[in-house]
Amino acid sequence: MSFQIRYGPFPDQKKKEEMKYDFYAKISYQMFPEMEDEFNRGDYEENYTVLLQPEEDENDVLTYKYDVELPYGDIKMQCYFTPRGKSEEDEDFKLIEMNSN
């Protein structure tokens, strides 16, 4: 199955040169047991975090994306952001949960 995340940015970050934040998704994935005949469960992480990649459309508006192919299963995600340029190695790195309402 194809799993795609698409996120339109905060209003103050509509163009690449205005980027103030990086966006992440924490993904929880559980392959359906009946897929084990075709796929090795150990080949697919159950919990991981990905950095969404910015991409400009034909109007120079940013959309953040992540695409992955997975065997059929249950998948859940939660989105986060952090000030641009921070990495997990930084002492003050903190993912801020986005409101899911």
Strand partners, 97: 80
Closest CA to 8 of 63, 77, 67: 63
Distance CA 89, CA 82 (A): 13
Q: Which segments of 1-95 are extended strands (E)?
A: 2-7, 21-31, 47-51, 53-56, 62-69, 73-83
Q: Is the pLDDT of residue 85 over 50?
A: yes
What is the mean pLDDT of the segment spanning 39-65? 88
- Burial label, 4 (beta-carbon count in 10 A; 0-12, 13-18, 19+): exposed
Q: CB count, 10 Å around CB of 46?
A: 11
What's the N-to-C CA distance of the chain in angstroms?
26
Residue 15 confidence class, pLDDT cut points 50, 70, 90: low
- pTM (predicted TM-score): 0.79
